[in-house]
Amino acid sequence: MIFGEKSAALTGPDHSKCRDSVYTFGEMVDSACERLMDRQIKYSIRRIREMDERLGRMELELDKFLSKKDRKF
């Protein structure tokens, strides 16, 4: 452990296998940041899929609109 760096024992349901392990504060922060980044990536992918579906619906609406306009002329 680096001088001045605190450590913490992880306990609880998420860390049942690591009950006796001791992690530095930096390791805990790194782990939390990795989990947050994973969640952000999953959220971003979900939003991109939702926007792609919406774009597909809008393209269909535009195609229908343009086909009606072509029939009038």
Q: Domain for residue 57, yes or no? A: yes
Residuewise pLDDT in 10s, the chain (73 residues)? 455 555 555 555 555 555 567 899 999 999 999 999 999 999 999 999 999 999 999 999 999 999 987 776 5
Residue 1 lies in a domain: no
In this structure, what is the dihedral angle of CA atoms 41, 42, 47, 48, given to the nearest 10 degrees?
70
How many domains are contained in the chain?
1
- Structural domain span for residue 50: 7-72
CA distance 45 to 48: 5
How many Å apart are CA 36 and CA 6, to the nearest integer? 22
Domain annotation covers residue 56:
yes
Q: Is 66 within the bounds of a domain?
A: yes
